[in-house]
Amino acid sequence: MLFAQNDKSFYKKKSTLNLSGNLINLSSPVVMGILNVTPDSFFDGGVYTNESTIVKRAAQILEEGGQFIDIGAMSTRPGAKEISLQEELDRLLPAVRAVKHEFPEACLSVDTYRSEVIERVYNEIGSFIVNDISGGTFDDGIFETVAHLHLPYILMHTKGRSDSMQKSPVYEDVVKEIILFFAAQVQKLKLLGVCDIIIDPGFGFGKTTDHNFELLNRLDAFKLFELPVLVGISRKAMIWRTLDVTPDESLNGTTVFNTLAISGGANILRVHDVMEAVETVKLVGKIKYISK
């Protein structure tokens, strides 16, 4: 049964995220809108590349009910080439400045795995959420940087870098391996004093389609960490390849999977289509409420 009547943890779990003294309630799922300022992201690459389009997209995310705006300046899709630090900064800094100027109260997340980028963005706009697709494995200084600046941190699992991660990834048990990875990395973060940690299993990052389906089916296994869980499956290949459609045609599949993710305990949905995800959260919440 999709929503078991005796599963009341959806409403009873109290989770908060401290962003510069502001407590964000994650006891019910919230939506993170994607703002890629990249020319080569798999779905919206090249769309938001000047201040006008960037600000317009940020406004859309907020107007449609997004809690967070996640800004990324380097594509991490499978096969993407790594860009230089300077190129990432040249794309990212004008974007975060523009969004922060227009929407000073907005909760921003920055998609990067470089500690120097984190420091430069912090010097520009103050506190934000660090969204690290490498889970601390690409930059040895990133945990210390996050701890020093007292920033919330999204700890994502990946298996390899973007240009190689989808070349026949192998797991004996994908969920068990990711749990062991999270256990080790969470311990390191907590020893450094990082309290606001979100875990992300990393759908599509060094996983086959079958691995992704296994993760979604067993998402509730990550509840053992008692940490907020982020799920980013928006318009990914596990959807459109299974349905034999294109990413442009995969909104319906995304909504189905977001529904399953909430049922499995997701606290944050990272999406391209904010309004549809917000509606999904509202409807699933209603079903959970009446089934208590």
Q: Could you tell me the residue ranges of all domains in the chain?
A: 9-290
Point out the residues of the chain with pLDDT beneath 50.
Answer: 1-14, 292
User: Length of the chain, please?
Assistant: 292
Of the residues 218, 270, 286, 292, which is catalytic?
A: 270
> Which amino acid type is present at position 72?
G
* Structure confidence by residue, pLDDT tens digits, 92-112: 999 999 999 999 999 999 999
Q: Tell me which CATH code domain 9-290 carries.
A: 3.20.20.20
Instruction: Look at residue 48 in the predicted model and tell me its pLDDT.
Output: 80
Instruction: Look at residue 40 in the predicted model and tell me its pLDDT.
Output: 58
Instruction: Look at residue 284 in the predicted model and tell me its pLDDT.
Output: 95
What distance in Å separates the CA atoms of residue 275 and residue 270, rounded to the nearest whole number? 12
SS3 state of residue 230: strand
Question: Phi and psi of 231, rounded to 5°?
Answer: -125, 125
Q: Is 270 noted as a catalytic residue in this protein?
A: yes
Instruction: Look at residue 233 in the predicted model and tell me its pLDDT.
Output: 97
**H-helix or E-strand spanning residue 188:** helix 174-191
DSSP single-letter state for residue 114 = -
| 144 Cβ neighbours under 8 A, 6+ residues apart | 115, 192
Query: How do 197-200 and 153-156 pair as beta strands?
Result: parallel
Of the residues 236, 282, 286, 292, which is catalytic?
A: 236
Q: Is 167 noted as a catalytic residue in this protein?
A: no
Instruction: Look at residue 81 in the predicted model and tell me its pLDDT.
Output: 79
Instruction: Look at residue 287 in the predicted model and tell me its pLDDT.
Output: 84
Instruction: Look at residue 46 in the predicted model and tell me its pLDDT.
Output: 63
Angstrom CA distances, 211 to 100, 107, 241, 263, stand at 37, 32, 14, 19
